[in-house]
Structures are given as structure tokens and as C-alpha cells.
Amino acid sequence: MASRSESSTEPCKLCQRRTLRGTTEHHLIPRMCHSNKWFKKNFSRDQMRQTISVCRDCHGAIHRYIPKQKVLGRDFNTVEKLLAHDELAKFVRWVSKQV
């Protein structure tokens, strides 16, 4: 049985693949930012808790291409914004063609 952070039933929200390893939950606003005053002022509690299911490849790429947690939370807090990141979008296009 998959844990709360892993699911094998949902496709990745970025590359749309279903992998044998399943998906992991990615916090659109990183947890380390939840206590930051700027984030508390600009986002609701529900917005800060929002996650998306992504495959391990895409999850690793998100943190590889956008390593700073505050930048990730401020500037890349939706699927659309993540896919607008040039390097990440290029990776997602490539990985979506992999088996």
C-alpha cells in the first residue's frame, strides 16, 4: 500500500506519465516557508498546504532547477508557473517521452 506521500494511481501533474514507482507529493509552497511572515501575509493556510502529485524524475528536476525554497514558493507555486520555467519545461518535454 502506498504511503501518504506516494501514490501509484495518479499520473504526474507535469509530465503526465504513470510510473511503476508512483508519484510523490510536492508542496507548491515549500514547508520551510510556512512560518515566514511574507508567505503568511500573501497566502492562505490552504494555499500553503497545497500539493501536486509528481513522478520522482520531475520532483527531482523541480528541486535541481529551482534549488532555493523561497524562490520556489514565491515564483513557482502553480503547475503553470513550474512549466513556464525554461529548463524545467525542457526536462518535462524530454521525460514525458521516456517509458
- Cα–Cα distance for residue pair 36/54, rounded to 1 Å: 25
Is residue 37 included in any domain, yes or no? yes
pLDDT in tens, 36-49: 999 999 999 999 99
Segment 42-50 long-range contacts (CB within 8 Å, at least 24 positions apart): 43/77, 47/77
* pLDDT tens digits along 43-79: 999 999 999 999 999 999 999 999 999 999 999 999 9
- Scan for cell 508557473, then name that residue: 81
15 in Cβ contact with 57 (< 8 Å): yes
Q: Tell me if 56 is assigned to some domain.
A: yes
- Total tally of structural domains belonging to the chain: 1
In a domain, 1, yes or no: no
Q: Structural domain of residue 54, as residue ranges? A: 6-95
pLDDT at residue number 9: 73
Confidence (pTM) = 0.88
Which residues are CB-neighbours of 62 under 8 A, at least 6 positions away?
26, 54, 72, 76, 82, 88
